[in-house]
Amino acid sequence: MKRLKNKSVFISYILLALGAVCFISGLLLGGKADYRISYTRQKVYVGQQNFISGKVSLDNFPFAEIHLDNCKLTIKSGENPCIEYNLPEDYKFTHKITDRKLELSAKQVTMLSFDLSVFSKSPSYIVLTVPEKDFSRLTVKSENGDIIIRDLKTTSLSAKTDNGNISCNNIQSYDLNTETENGDITIDNTEINRKTVFQTGNGNIESSSSSFMNVNGQNENGNISLKDCSLENAVITCKNGDINVTLSDNISNHSFELSSELGDVTFNHKHYGSRVNIPADYTYSNSVIKIQTSLGNINVK
């Protein structure tokens, strides 16, 4: 009787091992579907999640407001406004134009979910093409996912994500506001004529060949690098990280305040120690620059 019981236990272990092998094989050899482990308050289940792809043509609109959960977003301008998307079928995807404003939303229906994206052959994404002419305001709020904006001329641009990178390239706007809790911010070949804000909790802020006015830059953990940029009136602070600024033009008649609690600060290839007062300590008497650090060096180019 005891020997029979031991055999039963042994067979049970074998069946459990075979079940685990079959499950992992199914994940690795899956076909067109993406695999997800979804959690609800009532139960936990494992299954396949199909994707829905499509393209929607749009009428012209000058304003756009976008809210996303977990999705990569790319925005560009073009002659034919449209939305191209590839989303899991459990997303609630809506879009409408009301009073000349496009409202676009992609939200998860399930309470909580975890994507095994390593096995996914169709990642979630949305590509929005906005009108080339007469487009004036863009607002984006994303929970998780990268935001990529390029080749866009507008009046006001705001892009915020809780987890993800923000990339802006070839942008012309009066106002620019970029914020991410966890991720990098990259701004290249961009011209902002009124107000610029970039802020990240954990990540780097980088910009090159750009022109900014009235800059407010903040970084909790990470470096800030502005290379070959034109700045008018900038306040840039960093708690844990380096600040490196290289100007592409004369700083006369402008004001700058750069500070880092724990990090190095470099301004136009010159090192100023922990504190410098401008105009007394700088060549250009019409400029105002304040540079300070608690622990670290300061370097501005």
Q: Is residue 202 part of a domain?
A: yes
Domain identity same for 83 and 54: yes
Stretch 73-83: mean pLDDT, rounded?
97
Instruction: Give, in order, the Cα–Cα distances in Å from 107 to each of 37, 69, 93.
Output: 17, 5, 7
Nearest to 56 by CA among 20, 24, 87, 17: 87
Q: Determine the Cα–Cα distance for residues 26 and 52; give it in Å rounded to an integer.
A: 21
Total domains present in the chain: 2
pLDDT of residue 278: 40
Quick count: other Cβ atoms within 10 Å of Cβ 221? 15
Domain identity same for 151 and 59: no
Q: Is residue 12 part of a domain?
A: no
Domain identity same for 92 and 58: yes
Tally of residues, the chain: 301
First-to-last CA distance in the chain?
A: 84
Q: How far is CA 106 from the centre of its chain?
A: 17
pLDDT digit string, tens, across residues 188-223: 999 999 999 999 999 999 999 999 999 999 999 999
Domain identity same for 224 and 124: no
Instruction: Give, in order, the Cα–Cα distances in Å from 256 to each of 213, 252, 275, 281.
Output: 11, 11, 13, 13
Quick count: other Cβ atoms within 10 Å of Cβ 196? 26
Residue 19 burial by Cβ neighbours in a 10 Å radius (0-12, 13-18, 19+): exposed
Instruction: Give, in order, the Cα–Cα distances in Å from 257 to each of 260, 267, 282.
Output: 10, 11, 13
* Residue 48, pLDDT above cutoff 70: no
Domain identity same for 249 and 220: yes
Q: Is residue 179 part of a domain?
A: yes
* pLDDT above 90 as % of the chain: 52
pLDDT of residue 49: 66
What domain range includes position 281? 146-301
Q: Residue 209: in which H helix or E strand, if any?
A: none
Domain identity same for 156 and 122: no
Q: Is residue 13 part of a domain?
A: no
Domain identity same for 119 and 195: no
Burial 43-74 (b: 16+ CB within 10 A, else e): eeeeeebebeeeeeebeebbbbebebbbbbbb
Q: Residue 250: in which H helix or E strand, if any?
A: none
Q: Determine the Cα–Cα distance for residues 130 and 64; give it in Å rounded to an integer.
A: 8
3-state secondary structure of 223: coil
Bridge partners of residue 260, in order along the sequence: 238, 293
Nearest to 178 by CA among 223, 226, 142: 142
Read off the amino acid at residue 101: K
Dihedrals phi, psi of 8, to nearest 5 degrees: -65, -40
pLDDT of residue 90: 85
> Is residue 37 very low, low, confident or very high in pLDDT (cuts 50, 70, 90)?
very low
Q: Is residue 155 part of a domain?
A: yes
pLDDT digit string, tens, across residues 2-18: 444 455 545 555 555 55
* Residue 111, pLDDT above cutoff 70: no
pLDDT digit string, tens, across residues 138-181: 999 999 999 999 999 999 999 999 999 999 999 999 999 999 99
pTM: 0.76
Q: Is residue 84 part of a domain?
A: yes
Domain identity same for 45 and 153: no
pLDDT digit string, tens, across residues 281-300: 444 434 444 444 455 444 44
Domain identity same for 120 and 151: no
Q: Determine the Cα–Cα distance for residues 79 and 243; give it in Å rounded to an integer.
A: 40
Domain identity same for 113 and 169: no
Q: Which residue has the higher pLDDT, 250 or 144?
A: 144
pLDDT of residue 123: 81
State which of 131, 154, 176 marks the end of a domain.
Answer: 131
> Is residue 120 very low, low, confident or very high in pLDDT (cuts 50, 70, 90)?
very low
Stretch 231-245: mean pLDDT, rounded?
88
